[in-house]
Chain A
Amino acid sequence: MIKPLGDAGVRVSFGTEISEEVHRQVRAFTSVLEREPADGIIEWVPSYTAVTVFYEPWNLSYKEAAEHIEKLLQLAEEETIPEGRTWHLPVCYSSEFAPDLEGISESTGISPDEIVNRHVESLYTVYMLGFTPGFPYLGGMDPGIAVPRLTSPRSSVPAGSVGIAGEQTGVYSLTTPGGWRIIGKTPVKLYDPEREEPVFLRAGDKIRFRAVTKKEYEQIEEEINKGAYEVTVEGGRSS
């Protein structure tokens, strides 16, 4: 389904529910779009179920943009999706970084250690980036540890905090207000304006969390501050 988002955006939707299949279609479409953007297309924003394409109306009318997208949708059916990379992020789940771990344990009846085990076990898919630069919306969490957002958001959640909101998990990339339930913290900066590539994650990448002790966390943080830490990554570039 193709619809306008204002006079310089067009949204193509692939479904209404989060699923691996819808995500596959989103990725196939962005993959062909990257190869064959029409003149006048500026950028695009993939989400859980849709891709919104932004364009310059003086170079491409809505009708032309929609026609181009129709064409790409056909090509996307044959598209082989590039393999995403897998990033290994160290996370310290110690209580000082995990203000909501006890609460989640109480509401789910699962021990804090077991919640951490389950959180570390899954391989997560980056469905989209947003909210703040480099904030990954991750799918693939064990539904047993799903909990709703806080009823009233915190006024400040530190950058690096790992949170749960429903069946989603994610990592705060900036210190901002936020309502996700916090269970840990990574010293890795998902967003760093000083870095050549301020955001290294891409939609379609995978993330695996690795539990580290407070001491390891501090060591890694120190290495990061010295510019000596490299995040472990497997696989080629997704885009």
Chain B
Amino acid sequence: MSGFKVEKQGLLTTVQDKGRPGYQQYGIIVGGAMDPWALRLANVLVGNPDGAAGLEITMMGPELVMTADTKIAVGGGDLSASIDGKDIPLWTAVPVSAGQTISFGKPRSGVRAYIAFGGGIDVPEVLGSRSTYIKAELGGYEGRELNKGDHVSLLPKTSDVPRRRLHPSLIPDYDKTRPVRVISGPDEDLFNEDTMSRFYESEFYLTNEVDRMGYRLEGPGLAPEKEAGILSDATTMGTIQVPAGGQPMLLLADRQTAGGYARIGTVIQEDMPRVAQYGPHEKIQFSAVKVEEAQQLIIKREQAFRCLMKLLHL
């Protein structure tokens, strides 16, 4: 059993899974897929456990030549995935044989796609995860992004599955015209009321500085009332920090475990899939939501996902 060879390098292609929780108190980040739901769903479509490792593809995808027969499923953003030049549908398990080429074209919607391979990518587990943390050269394929010429192995398939397509109700909501929901705080007291309403009523734009660590946003100033520097403290996926300059930063998968800027709020998990699909210069708006409501949404999604796994005997 082999896997695939990287024929052409994409913009940024990394091995990712659900992440590496449990080590944040030592400064080791959780990392993992920017859009974990897309990867989890793609995994179950090919009969993998949802924590199997797949590829995260960014904007311009790579070209991969298969060296094994297996099934793949592509989820997340639509980056025009194809096999031997023929378009393949998203959220669908499709067979692929040794010698065939997986490639990507123009991004149609979103900026990140995920490929799950039957069996999952075979790289060593480091601290319980196969996800790549480039900055610390940890996990993934030699701790780095994939380059031309790399040979990547797959694990044996754990279950064989018929061609499957995901029910549309299970696909995450990627509608970017809707505001992204945020739970305020914990440093909301450092901002005056006007600033808080400006945050929830204004339009923000992503700048050019966008990566797996976070997005720098541009919009009306949100400078905190008091000195912007707080003592370094925990952040999480989706936390929005505001430095003294007043321009917010939205923290993502490869964020540091702790940051020293005022945290105006955190995006709810239900809305993170579409946050992961924003590209430079796109418009983003925020709306306030209570923690109880956010938890109902994510519980519903998790339960639906578990039903699906049960249905597929995973």
Contact = CB atoms under 8 A, between A and B. Distances in A.
B256 A58 contact: no
A47 B295 contact: no
B303 interface: yes
A8 B269 contact: yes
A203 B21 CA distance: 18
B256 A132 contact: yes
A153 to B, nearest CB: 13
B136 A174 contact: yes
A47 B231 contact: yes
Contacts of B29: 133
Nearest to A174: B136
Interface string A93-132: 0000000000000000000000000000000000011111
Contact of A129 (B25, B183, B185): B25
A43 B22 contact: yes
Interface residues of B, number: 45
Nearest to A42: B21
Contact of A199 (B28, B236, B298, B303): B28
B299 A58 contact: yes
A5 B21 contact: no
B231 A134 contact: no
A6 B233 CA distance: 14
A198 B25 CA distance: 13
B144 to A, nearest CB: 12
Q: Is the interface of A mostly helix, strand, loop or mixed?
A: loop
A35 B126 CA distance: 26
A57 B25 CA distance: 20
A196 to B, nearest CB: 11
Nearest to B265: A6
Interface in B18-71: 21-29
Interface stretch (A48-56, A67-75, A220-228): A48-56
Interface string B244-275: 00000000000011100001001111100000
A47 B233 contact: yes
A133 B136 contact: yes
Contacts of A45: 24-25, 234, 257-258
A13 B263 CA distance: 14
A163 interface: no
Contact of A50 (B25, B28, B233, B237): B233
Interface of B: 21-29, 126-127, 135-138, 143, 183, 185-186, 231-239, 256-258, 263, 266-270, 291-292, 294-295, 298-299, 302-303
6 contacts: A11-B234, A44-B24, A58-B299, A129-B257, A199-B23, A203-B25
